[in-house]
Amino acid sequence: MPYVRPFESKNIGNNQYEIMTGYRHLHDMLSRDWLPSCCFGFFNTEFLRRHGLQFREDIKIGEDAVFMTEVLTCEPEKTVIEVGRVFYHYRLRPHSLTTTKNDIAKLVNLFEVSQLFISFYEKQRAVQANEQMLIDLQRIAAINYGSAYRYQYLSYTPENKAKVRHYFTPEIIRFMQRFLSYEVIL
């Protein structure tokens, strides 16, 4: 029997909706420790074309979080409608990249995506006046590092943990601890 994840929003119930800005939607997702993900949305094609937004083909996992962050921040005041309704069921296949554990390449890729988020933050810092949005952009990187830690590193064999431990530098661990509610112990 498939697992059906309950609807997450604290603001709306089933079959209700709320109209908000793209930035507010991003902030609300982060407050629930959810990374931005395409499975949470439908998009206006003209909007995507106008901003040159598309999936990056050089990213193997986490590309939807990069895409969604760009979508929600390119026009932060753009209207978003959050609907308390399931539009489709996400199937997890055994042995898919999403469910693969103990794969060092996946952790390395998640670290590369976190670096993209940090670079994105640096670019936005030069043009963005909204301090909370800048904090949230950093938090996306921290949550992504946290995914690498919780869902990859902690499930690794001792041998694989030893191979990747150097990715968790003291600087990255301090960065994670600023934004995450759990302790990172290697």
**pLDDT 10s digits, 87-140:** 666 666 676 666 666 788 889 989 999 999 898 888 888 777 778 888 888 999
User: Has residue 166 been placed in a domain?
Assistant: yes
Judgement on whether residues 79 and 109 belong to the same structural domain of the protein: no
User: Has residue 77 been placed in a domain?
Assistant: yes
Q: Higher-confidence residue: 173 or 16?
A: 173
Instruction: Output the pLDDT for position 146.
Output: 94
Mean pLDDT of 61-66: 85
How far, in Å, are 95, 128, 149, 155 from residue 39 at the CA level?
A: 20, 27, 22, 25
Instruction: Output the pLDDT for position 97.
Output: 62
**Domain enclosing residue 41, as ranges:** 16-84
User: Has residue 90 been placed in a domain?
Assistant: no
Q: pLDDT grade, residue 80 (50/70/90)?
A: confident
pLDDT above 90: residue 150: yes
Judgement on whether residues 148 and 117 belong to the same structural domain of the protein: yes
Interatomic CA distance for residues 102 and 128, integer angstroms:
38
Mean pLDDT of 55-82: 82
Judgement on whether residues 129 and 80 belong to the same structural domain of the protein: no
User: Has residue 62 been placed in a domain?
Assistant: yes
User: Has residue 128 been placed in a domain?
Assistant: yes
User: Has residue 144 been placed in a domain?
Assistant: yes
Residue 35 tokens read as: 């990374």
Residue in this structure with the two tokens 């690794």, named with its chain if needed? 156
Furthest-apart CA pair in the chain: how many Å?
A: 49
The domain total for the chain is 2
Q: Higher-confidence residue: 121 or 32?
A: 121
Interatomic CA distance for residues 73 and 71, integer angstroms:
6
Instruction: Output the pLDDT for position 4.
Output: 46
Residue in this structure with the two tokens 């094609």, named with its chain if needed? 45
User: Has residue 93 been placed in a domain?
Assistant: no
Average model confidence (pLDDT) across the chain: 81
Judgement on whether residues 76 and 121 belong to the same structural domain of the protein: no
Instruction: Output the pLDDT for position 175.
Output: 95
Give the domain-ending residue among 84, 113, 143. Answer: 84
User: Has residue 162 been placed in a domain?
Assistant: yes
Containing 113, the helix (H) or strand (E) segment is helix 104-127
Q: pLDDT grade, residue 11 (50/70/90)?
A: low
Containing 156, the helix (H) or strand (E) segment is none
pLDDT above 90: residue 153: yes
pLDDT above 50: residue 5: no
pLDDT above 50: residue 79: yes
